[in-house]
Amino acid sequence: MLFGMRLHANILATSALTPAVALVFQQKVKSYFDLLGLPKNVMSFADFSEEGLLNQLRYGWANRTAIRERLREVIPVLIRETAKSADIIAAIDRGEDIRATVRRLKEQGQY
């Protein structure tokens, strides 16, 4: 289990299906956990105390199996969605027309 503050640490952990809880340093961390469907996995600095930290860690540990199951559901979807953006950016880099690229991806069932 990871207890992290930084977005990319949390992305790396959850992408590997590692349960994570976070101290929200920036709104994007909260938004990421909302996107994962795990809004209870974050705590704010306003709630930061020895007791609050222990409660958050206990919550993550007690729910690690359910968190991992949720990650198994949502991470593959997010990977597919981000691959679409990568395909479009790669096409633009190759000099392809953006509209033609999106049309091609839709025809291939990728968009």
Instruction: Give the model confidence (pLDDT) of 5-16 as tens digits.
Output: 999 999 999 999
Percent of the chain at pLDDT > 90 equals: 70
Instruction: Give the tokens for residue 88.
Output: 């479009």
Number of residues written out for the chain:
111
Rounded Cα–Cα distance for residues 110 and 95 (Å): 20
Q: Convert the pLDDT of each residue in 57-80 to its tens digit.
A: 999 999 999 999 999 999 999 998
Instruction: Give the contacts of 37 (CB within 8 A, at least 6 positions apart).
Output: 70, 74
Hey, what amino acid is at 1?
Answer: M
pLDDT at 102: 84
Task: Answer whether 53's CB lies under 8 Å from 32's CB.
Answer: no
pLDDT at 27: 95
- DSSP H or E segment with residue 22: strand 20-24
